[in-house]
A and B are shown apart, each in its own frame.
Chain A
Amino acid sequence: MSLIEIIVFLPLLAALAVGLGSPARFTALGTSVLVLLLTLAAAIRFQTNLEGSASFQFASSRTLLEIAGFPKLSLAFGLDGMSLVLLLLSAIVMVAAMMVAPKEDAIKGSARLYYISLLLIAGGAIGAFCSTDLFFLYAFHELALIPTFLMIGIFGHGENRVRTAWTITIFLGVGSLILLVGLILGVNALGGTTFDIASLVTFAKEPGTAIAAGMQSWVFLLLFIGFGILVSLFPFHSWAAPAYAEAPTPVAMLHAGVLKKFGLYGLIRIAMPFAPLGAEKWLNLVLVLLLGNILYIGLVTIAQKKLDRMLGYSSVMHMGYVFLGIAAGNHLGLSGAVLLMFAHGISIALLFALSGWMRDQFGTLDFDKLGGIAKSMPKLGLVFGFGVFASIGLPGFANFAAEVAIFFGAFSGGDETMTWIRWATIGALWGVVISAVYMLRAYRQIFLGPKPEKLKTPADLDWSMRVPILILLVTLLAVGFVPELLNQYIRPAINGIFLITAG
């Protein structure tokens, strides 16, 4: 067993153990701490001076199926800089989510089912980010589908939870089917001999084996829509905000923080290298849709009256920036996109953890019914404020470094002609203003101003909440002040990835 295989299979084995009778919370928490430690060990031992995307480190591969007429299938794992950053994100959010999850006796219903589902969701994300075999990259992501359905349907909040569970499952199910067709088309057009991502990318670069231009257009469109649905790309976003609002807190953290990044990861890792001409052809569509995410969803976010919905929509909106970074297609834009995936994952997990805790304490998240609680709960007010600042993208937080890189990347180029992407960047800049409006408004409504008389004042954050919050917050600040912590991994990875435009 290699290090990565252990990291991937630990959560799945833990889920099995819980199913067979091991104590649920203890096992889940222990596993996630172990996974985080192993991931940190991998990060420390990771060699940052190797160039090129083919250099997957800690690689392990077991051939499963090798017959004529079907791509070679192996259970293969490995890390490059980009997947390492996302693995770190998964491991950190997983630990925080398990800590935030309620104790066994506080769960209405089967605590085993609750923790098994959480372990499978996290394990699926980790497996997807670590796979270097296209089949398992896809398959591990799907592992989260049914647990998410059960978690929202059984343990979710609100009257409509079953309906919401169906919505998210059908959206993601259809999205992954479209994605599947795109992947089959792509692999088939690349010779259909292997599922190994590095080899496929090499084939796609060579003029002799690259996909024909007409086919590239189809492959990219299918992959873009398929991955896009998973990332809540406008106009396929309508599943996201209700699902995050009604999901149990740990699921919202894992899904909005980690799992959603899979689609973006897939775009960078698969869609663009497979079909660079297709990406060029559909660039304008991508720009229009990402502006839809940033501006239209931004305005929708302003209109929200409940904190959890607002956070849900804000997380949809911020995906637009990542798309912009990907559309830029140069070093700066792509590394900004990867960094923002990390930063957004941590900051949205932080905000969902806090809002979930507040829902338990106050019984409501309506802006109208809350107010002035910063005075009685200063610690909550402080960390929530940090989360808000991070989400807006103020300097000092990881999000700032990432967004700046994206904007510069998207606007770059020596000449003075206004390309479409430059116009889109100018539009996207207004998104920062929009997020400042809704985030600060939410903060003012909840924490400042007069306190409604009916509102009870519970105790401030206790240690069981402080630990996970601090883990997330320290990560955000550390990366914000020293982006090099992650950039050292991202840079070589991006160098090796096919670039659409000359960076």
Chain B
Amino acid sequence: MPVYYLEIIVVALGLLMLMVDAFVKLEDKRSIAWIGMLGLVVVFALLFVVKWPASTEGAFWKFYSSGDKLALYFKGIAVLTTLIVLVMAVDYTPTILAQIANPEAGAHRQAGLGEFFALPMFACAGLMWMASANNLVSIFVSLETVTIAFYIMVAYLRRNVGSLEAGVKYLILGALSTGFLVYGFAWLFGITGSMQLSEISTALAKPDINTTTALFTFGLILVALAFKVGAAPFHLWIPDVYQGAPTPITAFLSVGSKAAGFIVMLRLVSPFLASAELVGKVTLVLTVVAVLTLLVGNLAALPQKNFKRLLAYSSIAHAGFLVMALASSPRAGGNSALTPVAVIAFYLGAYLLMTLLAFLVMTSLRTKISGEDLDSFRGLAKRSPFLAFAMLVAMSSLAGIPLTAGFFGKLFVFKLAVESQHWVLLTVGLIGAAAGFYYYLKIAASMFLSDSGKGQIDLPAISVSPLAKIAMVALMVAIILAGFNPGLILGLFV
């Protein structure tokens, strides 16, 4: 079965969900989400079956694929993220309905819910395509497929000012960054004469390359990608958008969109890093971005009191660690299997597990507690030991405590920095990790420590939907297993 069937299946699933929403009379539209979830489970299983063709020559393959295990791995990340986002979306239904309910008499009481489940499917198809795109045009089209789906999803709660504000900010800044990206692509085509990444790589490696224009091009592309992944100084939209968007979409943004941004970054920056003429200056720029991002993300997270804002800064901080890995290309070419690319891929996988776990807990809580402030978590360990423990695991992993997947992510990044002797990066990374200890533990502390005399103590236990519970247990097991043996994740693409 050829690989590209998978994207077609996912798009078809999305269309099917829209059709069902439009033409089938459903009492409970949440069953639409079930179609998507079942379909994605099948697609995820198919990922282990599909094969790349023996030859990826020809117009179509040129456009579609870079044909490696890493591409499949990133496709898997896209599918898994979407699957868990749908699980969250089902739990989140009451909040959505409260915000979009149609006061018009006669309308279906769940009108407008179906699209909320269908849109992630289209974003997912875009993410999957992007995972293997190796042509400037296909990169651009797939990236925009994802971004346009996100424009709608972020602003989905149309009667909620926060969500609208988030939507407008995301739209304007997203469009701006797209502009930079297109302009950068134009320059890139101009100096290399090709849209194909492999040919661009060869052209950039020529010793007679004009370094000024090449660096200008790199700058344009980096600005655009820094917007997408939330790297400083282009991170300003992140906290507001994360806070305003519906929680499942925040999770999707924070994992899916970030992974997408880094995949594109890996593909686009690698040719520049491979060029002997450019590598020094490109590394310097990346180092500056990494240092800024690490400092801004980690230090600004310290005083945060809102859960989603805190995770927004944490996502900036993790972007910092990822850029740090990218900037730490080993100086001498060795035969290390643990290249910056592999480290970033591992880190993104671990990041997916722990961030989605945190957001799953948050979604399960959202309808049962009064707000998203850390204060509203007080005493939760008593109301629901399970949720509190799940959050503790997620936070330990995000903080990078050993025997969790997150620790290996940081260990690999630090190891790259040591190998390439980036002492400044290493120091800043350490400061960031130390700050992380504090603010991630703060979330756990608010559940376990806070004086439980107030508020939560007499309230009934919180029930968790079976589906969410299965997802949480699976994520926790994955985090801890990968914390003992990172080979479980690395083996998927190395």
Interface residues in B423-455 by Cβ distance below 8 A to A read 426, 430, 433-434, 437-438, 441, 444-445, 448-449
Docked-complex contact B403 and A143, CB < 8 angstroms = yes
Q: Is residue B22 within 8 Å, beta carbon to beta carbon, of the partner chain?
A: no
Residues of B within 8 A of A143 (CB): 402-403
Docked-complex contact B392 and A67, CB < 8 angstroms = no
- Taken together as a complex, chains A and B put the C-alpha atoms of A69 and B415 apart, in Å, by 10
Partner of B487, one of A64, A178, A188: A64
Partner of A70, one of B338, B401, B438, B483: B338
Asked if A69 meets B437 with Cβ closer than 8 Å, knowing A146-B392, A153-B448, A188-B415, the reply is no
Which of A19, A143, A173, A178 is the most central at the interface, judged by chain B CB atoms within 10 Å of its CB?
A: A173
Q: Is residue A398 within 8 Å, beta carbon to beta carbon, of the partner chain?
A: no
- Taken together as a complex, chains A and B put the C-alpha atoms of A185 and B417 apart, in Å, by 10
Residues of A within 8 A of B445 (CB): 149, 153, 162, 165-166
Residues of A within 8 A of B45 (CB): none
Docked-complex contact A146 and B402, CB < 8 angstroms = no
Residues of A within 8 A of B419 (CB): 188, 192
Partner of B434, one of A112, A145, A173: A173
Q: Is residue A142 within 8 Å, beta carbon to beta carbon, of the partner chain?
A: yes
Interface residues in A165-213 by Cβ distance below 8 A to B read 165-166, 169-170, 173-174, 177-178, 180-181, 184-185, 188, 192
Docked-complex contact B434 and A174, CB < 8 angstroms = yes
The binding surface of chain B is classed by DSSP as helix
Residues of B within 8 A of A166 (CB): 438, 445
Docked-complex contact A69 and B334, CB < 8 angstroms = yes
Residues of A within 8 A of B434 (CB): 170, 173-174, 177
CB distance from B462 to the nearest CB of A (A): 16
- Taken together as a complex, chains A and B put the C-alpha atoms of A437 and B344 apart, in Å, by 58
Residues of A within 8 A of B401 (CB): 142, 145-146
CB distance from A119 to the nearest CB of B (A): 15
Docked-complex contact A139 and B336, CB < 8 angstroms = no
Which of B389, B396, B402, B437 is the most central at the interface, judged by chain A CB atoms within 10 Å of its CB?
A: B402
Residues of B within 8 A of A162 (CB): 445, 449
User: How many residues on B have C-beta within 8 angstroms of the other chain's C-beta atoms?
Assistant: 40
Q: Is residue A33 within 8 Å, beta carbon to beta carbon, of the partner chain?
A: no
Docked-complex contact B415 and A139, CB < 8 angstroms = no
Q: Is residue A65 within 8 Å, beta carbon to beta carbon, of the partner chain?
A: yes
Partner of B418, one of A73, A153, A188: A188
CB distance from A129 to the nearest CB of B (A): 16
Q: Is residue A227 within 8 Å, beta carbon to beta carbon, of the partner chain?
A: no
CB distance from A120 to the nearest CB of B (A): 11
> Please, which residue of chain B has its CB at the minimum distance from the CB of A189?
B418
- Taken together as a complex, chains A and B put the C-alpha atoms of A148 and B414 apart, in Å, by 26
- Taken together as a complex, chains A and B put the C-alpha atoms of A149 and B441 apart, in Å, by 9
Partner of A181, one of B335, B430, B485, B486: B430
Q: Is residue B411 within 8 Å, beta carbon to beta carbon, of the partner chain?
A: yes
Residues of A within 8 A of B484 (CB): 64, 75
Residues of A within 8 A of B486 (CB): 64-65, 73
- Taken together as a complex, chains A and B put the C-alpha atoms of A188 and B334 apart, in Å, by 14
- Taken together as a complex, chains A and B put the C-alpha atoms of A173 and B396 apart, in Å, by 12
Residues of B within 8 A of A70 (CB): 336-338, 412, 415
User: How many residues on A have C-beta within 8 angstroms of the other chain's C-beta atoms?
Assistant: 38
Residues of A within 8 A of B338 (CB): 67-70
- Taken together as a complex, chains A and B put the C-alpha atoms of A201 and B30 apart, in Å, by 60
Task: Write the A365-381 contact mask toward B (1 if CB under 8 angstroms, else 0).
Answer: 00000000000000000
Partner of A65, one of B335, B483, B490: B490
Residues of A within 8 A of B444 (CB): 146
- Taken together as a complex, chains A and B put the C-alpha atoms of A15 and B293 apart, in Å, by 39
CB distance from B301 to the nearest CB of A (A): 15
Q: Is residue B219 within 8 Å, beta carbon to beta carbon, of the partner chain?
A: no
Q: Is residue A138 within 8 Å, beta carbon to beta carbon, of the partner chain?
A: yes
Docked-complex contact A154 and B403, CB < 8 angstroms = no
Residues of B within 8 A of A110 (CB): 381-382, 385
> Please, which residue of chain A has its CB at the minimum distance from the CB of B382?
A110
Residues of B within 8 A of A192 (CB): 419
Task: Write the B348-389 contact mask toward A (1 if CB under 8 angstroms, else 0).
Answer: 000000000000000000000000000000000110010001
> Please, which residue of chain A has its CB at the minimum distance from the CB of B396?
A146
- Taken together as a complex, chains A and B put the C-alpha atoms of A140 and B402 apart, in Å, by 8
Docked-complex contact B487 and A185, CB < 8 angstroms = no
Docked-complex contact A177 and B433, CB < 8 angstroms = yes
- Taken together as a complex, chains A and B put the C-alpha atoms of A149 and B449 apart, in Å, by 10
Docked-complex contact B441 and A169, CB < 8 angstroms = yes
Task: Write the A266-277 contact mask toward B (1 if CB under 8 angstroms, else 0).
Answer: 000000000000
- Taken together as a complex, chains A and B put the C-alpha atoms of A457 and B485 apart, in Å, by 56
CB distance from B167 to the nearest CB of A (A): 38
> Please, which residue of chain A has its CB at the minimum distance from the CB of B412?
A70
- Taken together as a complex, chains A and B put the C-alpha atoms of A184 and B461 apart, in Å, by 45
- Taken together as a complex, chains A and B put the C-alpha atoms of A225 and B392 apart, in Å, by 29
> Please, which residue of chain B has its CB at the minimum distance from the CB of A172?
B437
Partner of A139, one of B339, B389, B403: B403
21 A-B pairs within 8 Å (CB atoms) are namely A65-B490, A67-B494, A68-B337, A69-B337, A70-B338, A113-B385, A139-B402, A139-B407, A140-B403, A146-B401, A150-B448, A150-B449, A153-B448, A166-B438, A170-B434, A174-B434, A177-B434, A178-B430, A184-B414, A184-B415, A188-B419
Interface residues in chain A, defined as those with a beta carbon under 8 Å from any beta carbon in chain B: 19, 64-65, 67-70, 73, 75, 110, 112-113, 138-140, 142-143, 145-146, 149-150, 153-154, 162, 165-166, 169-170, 173-174, 177-178, 180-181, 184-185, 188, 192
The 8 closest A-B pairs by CB, nearest first: A69-B336, A139-B402, A69-B338, A65-B487, A173-B437, A142-B402, A64-B485, A67-B337
Interface residues in chain B, defined as those with a beta carbon under 8 Å from any beta carbon in chain A: 334-339, 381-382, 385, 389, 392, 396, 401-403, 407, 411-412, 414-415, 418-419, 426, 430, 433-434, 437-438, 441, 444-445, 448-449, 483-487, 490, 494
Beyond A75-B484, A180-B414, 14 additional contacts (C-beta under 8 Å) are: A70-B336, A112-B385, A113-B385, A113-B448, A140-B402, A149-B441, A153-B448, A166-B438, A170-B434, A173-B437, A181-B418, A184-B414, A184-B418, A188-B418
